[in-house]
Amino acid sequence: DAHMADIEAMIDAHGSNLLGAVTFMIPRLEEAIERLFRLAERKGWDLDFHVDETHDPAARSLDVIAETAIARRFGGDILVGHCCSLTRRNDEEIDQAIERVARAGLSVVSLPMCNMFLQDRLPERTPRWRGVTALHELKAAGVPVMIASDNVRDPFYAYGDLDMLEVWREGVRILHLDYPFAAWAPAVFATPAAAIGVDAAALSVGAPADMILTRARDFTELFARPHVDRTVLRNGLLVEEAAPDFAELDDLEGLAP
């Protein structure tokens, strides 16, 4: 229809190969998801879904996406984000959903800071639930998993700073991504890089010297003081610029006088 034609034209105009969508438990959800898959197949696009960001255990768009991918034998990449309500189901239902996700070849990204901040949020009531998805179980099932920071200084999450080290630190606290710490390092490095088609070179002779150096002797020291004594190298050169003052960013936020 006209709406889908507009979406197709917009993506083409940007030279992109990625179709994104936000899913809700709407009437005829299966039909809507099918239409997105058909368009992606025709254009050779990958898919990126904002999925089940809710406390409602009846939210099952994750299942619909996985089942559609399996049924259509979709050949592109599929990323699903949030998947918060998965952990509101019982253990048997969680296991069944994860099996579908793994079989469908989906990749999952959790947004621990904004998910914990937004989910189970009611006035004058202490939250009972962290809001994050079943990342440990997904990883154990062989699903590529990653963590990120979704909203950054916007109405949904006003406290982000585009800092992946902060994301990793808070992911350790919120999702228990420790002991061993190193087992989860790919979730903030190699796995998301692969998901967007970027070669995440390892530390090796001849590889680009793009890295952050700290004086921390172990992960506990790193996460205790993540903003102290960072040295940033880009292509082997020291990056000396400091983070901008917030006042310098007012034009970006529409706050400048």
* Over residues 216-231, mean pLDDT: 90
53 is an active site residue: yes
* Over residues 162-185, mean pLDDT: 94
Point out the least confidently predicted range of 60-64, 133-137, 176-180, 207-211.
207-211
The answer to whether 27 and 63 are in contact (CB under 8 A) is: no
In the chain, % of residues over pLDDT 90: 77
Same domain, 225 and 166: no
Same domain, 211 and 182: no
Same domain, 134 and 242: no
**Which residues does 141 contact at the CB level (< 8 Å), separation at least 6?**
98, 99, 101, 102
Same domain, 180 and 239: no
Same domain, 231 and 114: no
pLDDT band at 227 (very low <50, low <70, confident <90, very high): confident
Domain that holds residue 44: 2-200
pLDDT band at 255 (very low <50, low <70, confident <90, very high): low
With both helix axes pointing from N to C terminus, report the angle between 61-72 and 91-104 in degrees, rounded to the nearest 10: 40
Q: Is the pLDDT of residue 257 over 70?
A: no
Over residues 116-161, the pLDDT tens digits come to 999 999 999 999 999 999 999 999 999 999 999 878 888 899 998 8
Same domain, 16 and 93: yes
**For the whole prediction, is pTM greater than 0.85?**
yes
Any idea how long the chain is?
Answer: 257
How high is the pLDDT of residue 98? 99
Q: Give the active site residue among 53, 67, 92, 241.
A: 53
How high is the pLDDT of residue 170? 96
Q: Kindly report the CATH number assigned to the domain that includes residue 142.
A: 3.20.20.140
Q: Report which DSSP code applies to 139.
A: H
Same domain, 115 and 189: yes
Same domain, 155 and 210: no
Same domain, 186 and 243: no
